[in-house]
């Protein structure tokens, strides 16, 4: 199993009378692309700010690379990059000047790195244009460029595709996937665009009202969200045998109550039903379930 890079244990953040984050525990392993999913005010940004050291937890601990001391966390953060809320930039400086300042501040000796990251995000031709004249999409790209500057091992990104046009969204998605695949960069990302997260993430953390509702891998989510027929018969054990022997079915699950989730032959339900009946098994329930990440999330939060 991959190394645990970030280990969050019982993290809480209290503001006056309100708890923004309640008892959150999760682990981020090397190589993950982990999506933080939740509505506005759920606590995603607060968690990211606590990971970044901007906000101090009220309770709980954060371990990064196995160390939770102040010094250890600071050293760990030097191996990571963060892009939280609207990317920060000096308005009256150009993209190049902003990145140059960050390069100096991070102690990166290679001056060419600024040009490299500008090229990666498509801002190399902005010249002396001041950031105050940038569009939202350009500012997001600058934020991503800053995040890439120090060649991080982990990238924590809060809604990085906000304000990007569809082409830009695809570019950033492909960039993040490439960074994860080729440079083995671990990514924690939050977004409201669940379809994008479903194309990007290997794991999901669902947050609602400051509470961690669930953590799922993409395989687990696909199982849950995959289209299937829920079959309940008068003799489920016999039904399984009939499906396997007579129809050669292999993709199915048997639930705790014995009912069957059938993931294949979805277009052949008449044949499935007839086969069961012909072998003395009477189908009592035969329902198609069709869920995606968005539907799953909406069901989880109860449509709030």
Partner 1 sequence: MWNIIKAQNYQMKKDIMVVLLAICGLVLLIVPNVLDSSGDMDGLTGSVYLLQTSELLLLIFSIICLLLTCRICGWDYMDKTINYEILSGHSRKEVYWGRIVTSGIWSVVFCYVLGLLPLFIFTIVNGWGVNMNMGNVMFRYALMIFPILRMVCEFALLTFLLRNCYGAMVIGWTLFALSMIGVMFVEELTDTEWKLQLAYTNMSMLFDFSHGRLGYVGGEDVMIYETAVDLQTVLGTIGVSLLVSAVCLALGYLYYKKSDQR
**Which residues are near partner 1 by CB under 8 A?**
49, 52-56, 70-71, 74-82, 84-85, 88-93, 97, 100-102, 104-107, 146, 150
Task: Considering the complex, state which of residue 88 and residue 252 has its C-beta at the smaller distance from partner 1.
Answer: 88
Report the alpha-carbon distance of residue 133 to residue 205 in Å, rounded: 36
Task: For residue 187, list its beta bridge partners.
Answer: 33, 155
* Residue 103: CB minimum distance to partner 1, A: 9
Task: Considering the complex, state which of residue 83 and residue 216 has its C-beta at the smaller distance from partner 1.
Answer: 83
Task: Considering the complex, state which of residue 82 and residue 134 has its C-beta at the smaller distance from partner 1.
Answer: 82
Task: Considering the complex, state which of residue 49 and residue 208 has its C-beta at the smaller distance from partner 1.
Answer: 49
Parallel, antiparallel or unpaired: strands 283-289 and 228-233: antiparallel
Neighbours of 108 (CB within 10 A): 16
Task: Considering the complex, state which of residue 81 and residue 186 has its C-beta at the smaller distance from partner 1.
Answer: 81
* Residue 123: CB minimum distance to partner 1, A: 17
Report CA torsion sign: 68, 34, 146, 135.
negative
* Residue 33: CB minimum distance to partner 1, A: 20
- Helices (DSSP H) in the chain: which residue ranges? 44-52, 70-77, 95-106, 112-121, 136-148, 166-182, 194-200, 218-225, 236-247, 269-278, 293-301
Report the alpha-carbon distance of residue 181 to residue 194 in Å, rounded: 21
* Residue 45: CB minimum distance to partner 1, A: 11
* Residue 91: CB minimum distance to partner 1, A: 6
Task: Considering the complex, state which of residue 15 and residue 277 has its C-beta at the smaller distance from partner 1.
Answer: 15
In total, the chain counts a number of residues equal to 304
Pull the structure tokens for residue 86. Answer: 């609207």
* Residue 94: CB minimum distance to partner 1, A: 10
Report the alpha-carbon distance of residue 206 to residue 160 in Å, rounded: 18
């Amino acid at each position: 199993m991959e190394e645990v890079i970030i280990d969050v244990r019982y993290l809480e953040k209290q503001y006056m009378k309100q708890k923004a984050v309640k008892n959150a525990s999760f682990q981020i392993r090397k190589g993950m692309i982990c999506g933080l999913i939740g509505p506005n005010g759920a606590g995603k940004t607060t968690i990211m700010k606590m990971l970044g050291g901007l906000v101090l937890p009220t309770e709980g601990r954060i371990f990064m690379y196995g160390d939770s001391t102040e010094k250890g966390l600071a050293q760990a953060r030097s191996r990571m990059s963060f892009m939280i809320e609207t990317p920060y930039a000096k308005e009256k400086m150009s993209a190049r000047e902003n990145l140059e300042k960050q390069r100096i501040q991070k102690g990166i000796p290679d001056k060419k790195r600024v040009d490299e990251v500008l090229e990666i995000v498509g801002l190399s031709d902005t010249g002396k244009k001041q950031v105050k004249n940038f569009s939202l999409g350009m500012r997001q790209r600058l934020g991503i460029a800053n995040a890439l500057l120090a060649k991080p091992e982990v990238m924590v990104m809060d809604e990085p595709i906000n304000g990007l046009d569809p082409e830009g969204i695809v570019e950033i998605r492909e960039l993040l996937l490439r960074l994860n695949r080729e440079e083995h960069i671990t990514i924690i990302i939050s977004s409201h665009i669940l379809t994008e997260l479903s194309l990007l993430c290997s794991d999901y953390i669902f947050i609602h009202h400051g509470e961690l509702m669930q953590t799922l891998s993409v395989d687990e989510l696909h199982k849950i969200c995959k289209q299937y027929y829920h079959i309940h018969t008068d003799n489920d054990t016999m039904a399984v045998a009939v499906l396997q022997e007579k129809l050669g079915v292999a993709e199915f699950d048997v639930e705790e109550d014995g009912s069957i989730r059938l993931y294949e032959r979805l277009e052949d339900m008449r044949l499935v039903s007839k086969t069961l009946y012909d072998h003395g098994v009477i189908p009592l329930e035969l329902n198609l379930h069709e869920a995606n990440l968005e539907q799953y999330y909406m069901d989880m939060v109860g449509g709030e």
